[in-house]
Structure 1
């Protein structure tokens, strides 16, 4: 089914598993997808920032997306299609949708500065992929250096009928969520789904501000699913207690430059992927960093047995 504005829950950002020699590890894609299905993911996102998409050529990217899509069955899969030019973006978008994707995610190039530039870019991107392809705005100023105000997000939504979701990764960004939901309540913007990123670092309060869930890649996505479920059920204290137990490890994983290495290390320790290998160029973990992660896992295991890896 095509992605629409009713999407909610958790769409984990899937890493791309590699063998130590840099080859794509398709068996680990299968294992990881089964894990997401088993722990209650409501969707899946591939070829995002943490999916090392820029390190894949077009054929490899499509092969990775297709493998996830086929293994996921009825689980909706969003494919990241951000590219320097619209030809490459449209080609991957069309191929991904033909393979069974539910929609695509588009990040802005780091050259955009004004609201008009941002709105024009997304209008042209929507034209390039076609009106029948649902798309997600990726709002991640810390990574892309493009600042999207609530007003320009509203403009993108209103100008493009196939815009159905915002991946919200502004920081700080809680007030942005509140403003967007206020636009909807006032009838100034149609409703869209809002799923949040940043490794889930602010997910506890993002849900309370009106976010529909998470789209991120913390090494314990099953914890994020529990937090969203508890928050949506009105069990505020239980949601915060679980989130707070994970916060030291989640914070450690958020370090720029080494975050993916840490995430893959923990996912490999959990048995979700066979290797923590990244495709070069890649950052690594020192022996001291690995020891610190093991310490954090041991402390977390006192509160959440899933950390007893």
Structure 2
């Protein structure tokens, strides 16, 4: 089960599809195997980048179940955010029954006040059950819900089953530092894993993050950054990060970021197709050339990209 000492990389997994929109089960297997080979501690499925809203309820449970059964020792977190609590409860119960380590809950965009936010997560924790460990997703750039460190402290304090924060605020480095100070003042510790495509991972680790929960197309590089930072090898960590930064930046483009990510994962042989389920954009020929160019430049510094060099 997931707990408040979780560390390392929990890869945000895309959902592999065939070009005709069917779920690609074989690619789920190769993807899970690739994350294990990369050294990931866990995988998060059915997140925002997992195209969860495009899935039928049975598909979502089937995908999570396949990942859980394939994952071996890796811990699997399942995104269970939903418009209503009935759907959240059903998916949460279903995935926990088949061996998920925990679930992740994001706030609905309708929340506006601090009290509304705190009340919502208290109700959600009650709905999924006190025995289910869960991850609080803080992603205001996409979800439009702003959670101050004080609000996060209230949620953590009032909900013992909240064991992890997925931190995706931007700018957010000071938020990490503030939360760690709260812990020194008596707040219960939670694991902090960071997202945003790893765009700030180098400094997030130095501010007190425990690792990354994001889907950058080189998860093995994320593992290296986390390990180097944890070992105090600051210059090595930043050198490796700097080599990948142009591709990380390119992958962060709103609207096409997932398409870029899937394209590189396909080129790496991790999934068979870069298809998204409709509605979803396809990369233009010009965009693919630019990604290929970035991969060729990355190959000068990281041998993992050498076989992909255009």
Question: TM over 0.5, yes or no?
Answer: yes
Distance (whole Å) between structure 1 residues aligned to residue 4 and residue 91 of structure 2: 22
Q: CA deviation at 1:73?
A: 1.4
Once the two structures are superposed, what CA deviation does each residue of 1:206-259 show, in whole Å capped at 9, x if it has no partner? 000000000000001110110000000000000000000000000000000000
Q: Give the TM-score taking structure 2 as reference length.
A: 0.98
Distance (whole Å) between structure 2 residues aligned to residue 232 and residue 114 of structure 1: 37
Q: 1:86 maps to which residue?
A: 85
Distance (whole Å) between structure 2 residues aligned to residue 261 and residue 120 of structure 1: 36
Q: 1:305 maps to which residue?
A: 303
1:209 and 2:212 correspond: no
5+ unaligned residues in a row in structure 2: which ranges?
none
Q: CA deviation at 1:303?
A: 0.2
Q: 2:145 maps to which residue?
A: 146
5+ unaligned residues in a row in structure 1: which ranges?
none
Matches within 5 A, 1:97-246: 97-187=96-186, 189-246=187-244
1:271 and 2:256 correspond: no
Q: CA deviation at 1:64?
A: 0.5
Once the two structures are superposed, what CA deviation does each residue of 1:261-299 show, in whole Å capped at 9, x if it has no partner? 000000000000000000000012111111100000000
Q: CA deviation at 1:74?
A: 1.9
Once the two structures are superposed, what CA deviation does each residue of 1:47-95 show, in whole Å capped at 9, x if it has no partner? 0011100000110000100000000012110000000000000100000
Q: Give the TM-score taking structure 1 as reference length.
A: 0.99
Distance (whole Å) between structure 2 residues aligned to residue 22 and residue 81 of structure 1: 22
Q: CA deviation at 1:39?
A: 1.5
1:6 and 2:5 correspond: yes
Distance (whole Å) between structure 2 residues aligned to residue 8 and residue 54 of structure 1: 28
Q: 2:18 maps to which residue?
A: 19
**RMSD value over aligned CA atoms?**
0.5
Once the two structures are superposed, what CA deviation does each residue of 1:15-66 show, in whole Å capped at 9, x if it has no partner? 1000001000010010011111111101110000111000001100001000
Matches within 5 A, 1:248-263: 248-263=246-261
Once the two structures are superposed, what CA deviation does each residue of 1:68-124 show, in whole Å capped at 9, x if it has no partner? 000001211000000000000010000000010000000000001111000000000
Distance (whole Å) between structure 2 residues aligned to residue 174 and residue 128 of structure 1: 32
Distance (whole Å) between structure 1 residues aligned to residue 39 and residue 268 of structure 2: 17
Distance (whole Å) between structure 2 residues aligned to residue 53 and residue 307 of structure 1: 29
Q: 1:65 maps to which residue?
A: 64
Q: How many residues align?
A: 307
